[in-house]
């Protein structure tokens, strides 16, 4: 198979022992998406034409999570013998391809395409056998450190475990963002050993090895600390979540959305929000939710996957909306649940009104016509259709079926009320 360059390799075979989890580390989610998805997007956005993901621990979980990514190939690393070995197992897939390959790790969800595209450019301009992007961080704990000579020339990478005490103080770190030229890398990987604290084949030894073979290696401090946060623990996961969440909110505020209390708001990376919408505190938008313009959300609202709000919709306190489409002007101001519902325009959803969409085995739809009014504490037992302009009285339980347009229903089970005498 012909490889479309430039190529990228993403290392994701490790278990991530420090996470203490049955799930592969790179599948833990940041703002609703698995970490590895961000890295795949960043590599693709940087220009990679082919992306090889190295899988091992819980490989099936990764195949499933990345199914449908057309440009992703998988290489299996049966035993996790180290990051150098992980790159080596990609060789059969990339055989015959000569050109740049970017190597990234799957546990850095904050990587962005632009700085990585810049690494590809730099490698090409320098004609380097290895262009290593580095970053200066406040706390280098856990990262490999960049060693330079007195003239500032790159010498090698030293893992934290193998650091001499004075080397630990170095704050220029290896974020594991490399561009190597193929085939020179293969030869270098064949020559690295396991003489280190973990007895593993370290990819971090490859740049030094390339220099020994007469190759050109450049380490350039061009990456931002926030972009290269490596997630090794649940604490790191929470840090990544906070930074990603701030980026998502920043984007929507730039687009004209008001977020009253950013720290107490959570918005999924897949959500789309229209201008002049206001999000009040303690609201959570999870999944691929679309919110129109001038909507009022919260406080304490929960909008879930598949929900679409048109313009001028109000979803207030303790209202949960799941897989529902709501047309403009509709208001659900307090204590309501709308699940699998299609709600028309200018509907009023009273406090405590809910769709009973789950019968214990299956979910069922609810249709609510334009201008309908649902009374306080009413229950709509799905599948059910409420006609346009219909009124459901407070406390009514509407059984499966239909309420005619313009009708008023009341009681348990709800029945049409007779129109007042004279009408």
Q: Which residues would be at the binding site for ligand UD1 (CB under 6 A)?
A: 11-14, 26, 54, 77, 80-83, 85-86, 105-108, 143-144, 157, 159, 173-176, 202-204, 230, 232
User: Which of Ca ion, ligand UD1, none does residue 83 bind (CB under 5 to 8 Å by kind)?
Assistant: ligand UD1
At closest approach, how far in Å is the CB of 343 from ligand UD1? 44
179 vs 130: CA distance, rounded Å: 6
Beta bridge partners of 147: 156
At closest approach, how far in Å is the CB of 242 from Ca ion? 18
How many residues lie near Ca ion (CB under 5 A)? 3
At closest approach, how far in Å is the CB of 165 from ligand UD1? 18
198 vs 258, beta carbon nearer ligand UD1: 198
**Distance, C-alpha 377 to centroid of its chain:** 37
Q: Which one of 113, 183, 230, 287 is in contact with Ca ion (CB under 5 A)?
A: 230
Residues 6-25 that bind Ca ion (CB under 5 A): none
User: Which of Ca ion, ligand UD1, none does residue 87 bind (CB under 5 to 8 Å by kind)?
Assistant: none
User: Which of Ca ion, ligand UD1, none does residue 46 bind (CB under 5 to 8 Å by kind)?
Assistant: none
> Among this protein's residues, is 334 annotated catalytic?
yes
User: Which of Ca ion, ligand UD1, none does residue 61 bind (CB under 5 to 8 Å by kind)?
Assistant: none
At closest approach, how far in Å is the CB of 2 from Ca ion? 32
Q: Is 233 in the site for Ca ion (CB under 5 A)?
A: no
Catalytic residue among 266, 302, 334, 364: 334
Q: Which one of 62, 107, 269, 356 is in contact with Ca ion (CB under 5 A)?
A: 107
Q: Which of 107, 132, 112, 121 is nearest to 185 (CA)?
A: 132
65 vs 81, beta carbon nearer ligand UD1: 81
Q: Is 327 in the site for Ca ion (CB under 5 A)?
A: no
388 vs 347: CA distance, rounded Å: 9
Q: Which of 371, 396, 379 is nearest to 336 (CA)?
A: 379
At closest approach, how far in Å is the CB of 119 from ligand UD1? 15
User: Which of ligand UD1, Ca ion, none does residue 176 bind (CB under 5 to 8 Å by kind)?
Assistant: ligand UD1
Q: Which residues of the shown chain bind Ca ion in the complex (CB under 5 A)?
A: 107, 230, 232
- Known catalytic residues? 334
């Amino acid at each position: 198979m012909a490889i479309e360059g430039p190529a990228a390799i993403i290392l994701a075979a490790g278990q991530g022992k420090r996470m203490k989890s049955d799930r592969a580390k790179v599948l833990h989610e940041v703002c609703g998406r698995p970490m590895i998805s961000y890295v795949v997007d960043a590599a693709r956005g940087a220009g990679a034409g082919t992306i090889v993901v190295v899988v091992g621990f819980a490989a099936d979980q990764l195949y499933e999570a990345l199914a449908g990514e057309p440009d992703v190939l998988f290489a299996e690393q049966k035993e996790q013998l180290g990051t150098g070995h992980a790159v080596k197992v990609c060789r059969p897939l990339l055989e015959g391809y000569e050109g740049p390959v970017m190597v990234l790790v799957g546990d850095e969800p904050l990587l962005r395409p632009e700085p990585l595209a810049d690494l590809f450019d730099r490698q090409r301009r320098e004609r380097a056998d290895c262009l290593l992007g580095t970053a200066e961080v406040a706390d280098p704990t856990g990262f490999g450190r960049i060693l330079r000579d007195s003239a500032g020339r790159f010498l090698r990478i030293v893992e934290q475990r193998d650091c001499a005490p004075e080397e630990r103080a170095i704050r220029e770190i290896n974020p594991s963002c490399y561009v190597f030229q193929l085939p020179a890398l293969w030869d270098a990987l064949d020559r690295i050993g396991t003489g280190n604290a973990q007895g593993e084949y370290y990819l971090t030894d490859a740049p030094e090895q390339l220099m020994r073979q007469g190759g050109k290696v450049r380490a350039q401090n061009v990456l931002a600390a926030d972009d290269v946060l490596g997630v090794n623990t649940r604490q790191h996961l929470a840090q990544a979540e906070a930074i990603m969440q701030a980026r998502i909110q920043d984007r929507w505020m730039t687009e004209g959305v008001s977020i009253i209390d950013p720290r107490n708001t959570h918005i999924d990376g897949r959500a789309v929000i229209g201008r002049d919408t206001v999000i009040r505190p303690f609201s959570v938008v999870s999944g691929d939710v679309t919110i129109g313009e001038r909507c009022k959300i919260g406080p304490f609202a929960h909008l879930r996957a598949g929900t679409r709000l048109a313009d001028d919709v109000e979803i207030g306190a303790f209202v949960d909306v799941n897989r529902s489409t709501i047309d403009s002007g509709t208001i659900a101001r307090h204590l309501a649940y709308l699940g699998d519902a299609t709600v028309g325009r200018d509907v009023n959803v009273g406090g405590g009104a809910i769709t009973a969409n789950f019968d214990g085995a299956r979910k069922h739809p609810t249709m609510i016509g334009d201008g309908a009014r649902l009374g306080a504490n009413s229950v709509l037992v799905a599948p059910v259709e409420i006609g346009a302009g219909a009124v459901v009285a407070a406390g009514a339980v509407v059984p499966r079926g239909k309420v005619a347009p313009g009708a008023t229903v009341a009681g348990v089970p709800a029945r049409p009320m007779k129109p007042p005498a004279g009408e």
